[in-house]
């Protein structure tokens, strides 16, 4: 029977999309250069001169606090000949201006062009030399950027997400940014998102979930540009993720946002190329800090991550083999993956 005719099984995106360089180039243009992308947390950007420099799908971005206390995002690219201006993952500039290390063009922290060696400012079109602005949006201290000059403002583009998060009443303000973990793996970024968007694999890959959750009841509700995951806990569960129901979100295209009782974390799924992905976790723990519970929670996430990386790397190899054209999704248990694929298909159409 043809794949399309099986009512309970629906086709995935083609296997080729998980490794072809031209597809990756299109995703950078059509998804990563157009969507709101999680970039940083406001905890790193409190005082004038604070900055964060990050790279998302190969786009180099800086978020900077100006002398006026306003946060702005820019392409981290000197207008002269393209050198990066803000170096390291984060830092603070006390002088009020950033000088390019290549030839010394200097810019204010608001992105205005200040000076260039051996050139008279009066003779230059300073407006054309301003740093290129990038859109910036915020959700409870989580900062999102958008590279498209045509992008809708964050609050309008993500109105449904903002509304649902507000209704969930998760107390983000009680949590403090305490730990970061970075991992890289040899798999396409979508292979990771696919796994994040379902718990069909939980009984087999993550025995730890079996213990505490009634996985038969795992549900994914797809909304406008995000999905809400939920699952009933077993009675008497002593999971390191705490006792309450939690709020587990995935935000298109590449952010996991699980909010548990002891901790919430952002999981940025950041493509480094068609077959390599960096996972950046930023953990925010509830105050006052419970040190043993914190350690236990980090260990729990590390174990689940190890399990997911190893299956994603094995799957990636087969997707690249040429022996497999496309897969099948269980329409009921993998509806989150189907939704993600529908968004990718639409973006690349
Ligand atoms: S590239 Fe920045 S000053 Fe030349
Ligand atoms: Fe998993």
> Has residue 181 got a pLDDT over 80?
yes
More confident residue, 232 or 191: 191
Nearest-angstrom CA–CA distance, 312 and 308: 6
Within this chain, do residues 274 and 341 fall inside the same structural domain, yes or no?
yes
Supply the pLDDT for residue 6: 62
Q: Which ligand is nearest to the CA of 99?
A: 1
> Has residue 241 got a pLDDT over 70?
no
Supply the pLDDT for residue 121: 95
Within this chain, do residues 181 and 104 fall inside the same structural domain, yes or no?
no
Supply the pLDDT for residue 233: 84
The rounded Å distance from CA 283 to ligand 2 centre is 18
Q: Which of ligand 1's atoms lies nearest the C-alpha of 116?
A: 3
Give the pLDDT band (50/70/90) at residue 243: low
Please compute the mean of the pLDDT values over residues 225-231 and round it to a whole number. 95
Within this chain, do residues 174 and 301 fall inside the same structural domain, yes or no?
yes
Is the Cβ atom of 98 under 6 angstroms away from ligand 1? Answer: no
DSSP string covering 132-162: PEEEEEEETTEEEEE--TTPPPHHHHTHHHH
Please compute the mean of the pLDDT values over residues 60-78 and round it to a whole number. 98
Within this chain, do residues 203 and 338 fall inside the same structural domain, yes or no?
yes
Is the Cβ atom of 179 under 6 angstroms away from ligand 1? Answer: no
Give the pLDDT band (50/70/90) at residue 1: very low
Residue 152, domain extent: 37-156
> Has residue 190 got a pLDDT over 70?
yes
Closest residue by Cα to atom 4, ligand 1, is 103
Nearest-angstrom CA–CA distance, 291 and 99: 41
Supply the pLDDT for residue 186: 98
Is the Cβ atom of 102 under 6 angstroms away from ligand 1? Answer: yes
The rounded Å distance from CA 79 to ligand 1 centre is 7
How confident is the prediction for the chain on average, in pLDDT? 94
Q: By the 8 A CB rule, do 339 and 227 touch? A: yes
Supply the pLDDT for residue 283: 96
Q: Which ligand is nearest to the CA of 78?
A: 1
Among residues 87, 121, 156, the one where a domain terminates is 156
* Total number of domains constituting the chain: 2
> Has residue 142 got a pLDDT over 50?
yes
Q: For 28-62, b where at least 16 C-beta lie within 10 A, e where not — what string?
A: beebbbbbbbbbbbbebbeebbbbbbbebbebbbb
Within this chain, do residues 144 and 216 fall inside the same structural domain, yes or no?
no
Is the Cβ atom of 101 under 6 angstroms away from ligand 1? Answer: no
More confident residue, 7 or 198: 198
DSSP string covering 230-255: E-PBPTT---TT-SS--EEEEETTTE
Q: By the 8 A CB rule, do 305 and 279 touch? A: yes
Closest residue by Cα to atom 1, ligand 1, is 81
Within this chain, do residues 193 and 315 fall inside the same structural domain, yes or no?
yes
Please compute the mean of the pLDDT values over residues 320-341 and round it to a whole number. 97
Within this chain, do residues 316 and 176 fall inside the same structural domain, yes or no?
yes
The rounded Å distance from CA 203 to ligand 2 centre is 10
Indicate yes or no: pTM above 0.85: yes
Give the pLDDT band (50/70/90) at residue 213: confident
Among residues 101, 126, 156, the one where a domain terminates is 156
Output DSSP code: residue 29: I
Supply the pLDDT for residue 209: 85
Within this chain, do residues 78 and 143 fall inside the same structural domain, yes or no?
yes
> Has residue 66 got a pLDDT over 50?
yes
Per-residue pLDDT tens over the stretch 89-108:
999 999 999 999 999 999 99
Within this chain, do residues 67 and 180 fall inside the same structural domain, yes or no?
no
Is the Cβ atom of 100 under 6 angstroms away from ligand 1? Answer: yes
> Does some domain include residue 162?
no
Q: Which ligand is nearest to the CA of 229?
A: 2
Find residue 273's DSSP bridge partners: 276
Which of 102, 113, 117 has most ligand 1 atoms within 8 Å of CB, for mutation?
102
The CATH number linked to 110 is 2.102.10.10
Within this chain, do residues 114 and 186 fall inside the same structural domain, yes or no?
no
Our CA angle for 250, 210, 314, nearest 5°, is 65
Supply the pLDDT for residue 247: 86
Which of 83, 87, 113, 132 has most ligand 1 atoms within 8 Å of CB, for mutation?
83
Within this chain, do residues 58 and 84 fall inside the same structural domain, yes or no?
yes
Among residues 97, 131, 156, the one where a domain terminates is 156
Closest residue by Cα to atom 3, ligand 1, is 103
The rounded Å distance from CA 19 to ligand 2 centre is 21
Supply the pLDDT for residue 22: 98
The CATH number linked to 212 is 3.90.380.10
Supply the pLDDT for residue 47: 98
> Has residue 4 got a pLDDT over 70?
no
Within this chain, do residues 129 and 185 fall inside the same structural domain, yes or no?
no
> Has residue 244 got a pLDDT over 80?
no
Nearest-angstrom CA–CA distance, 129 and 107: 9
């Amino acid at each position: 029977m043809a794949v399309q005719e099986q009512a309970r099984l629906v086709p995935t995106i083609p296997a080729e999309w998980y490794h072809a360089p031209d597809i990756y180039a299109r995703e950078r243009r059509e998804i990563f250069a157009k969507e709101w992308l999680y970039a940083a947390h406001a905890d790193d950007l409190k005082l004038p001169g604070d900055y964060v420099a990050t790279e998302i799908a190969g786009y180099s971005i800086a978020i900077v606090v100006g002398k006026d206390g306003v946060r702005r995002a820019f392409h981290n690219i000197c207008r002269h000949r393209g050198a990066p201006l803000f170096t390291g993952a984060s830092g603070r500039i006390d002088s009020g201006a950033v000088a390019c290390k290549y030839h010394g063009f200097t810019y204010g922290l608001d992105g205005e062009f200040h000076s260039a060696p051996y050139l008279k400012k009066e003779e230059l079109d300073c407006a054309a030399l301003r740093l290129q602005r990038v859109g910036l949006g915020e959700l409870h201290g989580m900062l999102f950027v958008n590279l498209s000059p045509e992008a809708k403002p964050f609050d309008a583009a993500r109105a449904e997400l903002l509304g649902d998060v507000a209704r969930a009443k998760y107390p983000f303000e009680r949590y403090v940014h305490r730990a970061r973990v970075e991992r890289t793996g040899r798999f396409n970024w979508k292979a990771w998102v696919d796994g994040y968007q379902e718990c069909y694999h939980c009984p087999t890959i993550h025995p730890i979930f079996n213990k505490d959750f009634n996985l038969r009841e795992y549900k994914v509700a797809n909304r406008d540009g995000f999905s809400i995951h939920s699952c009933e806990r077993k009675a008497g569960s002593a999971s390191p993720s705490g006792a309450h129901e939690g709020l587990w979100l995935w935000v298109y295209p590449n952010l996991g946002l699980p909010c548990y009782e002891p901790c919430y974390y952002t999981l940025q799924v950041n493509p480094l190329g068609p077959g390599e992905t960096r996972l950046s976790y930023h953990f925010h723990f509830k105050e006052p800090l419970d040190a043993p519970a914190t350690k236990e929670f980090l260990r729990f996430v590390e174990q689940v991550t190890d399990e997911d990386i190893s299956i994603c790397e094995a799957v990636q190899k087969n997707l690249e083999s040429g022996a497999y054209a496309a897969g099948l999704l269980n329409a009921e248990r993998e509806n989150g993956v189907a939704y993600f694929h529908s968004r990718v298909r639409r973006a690349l159409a």
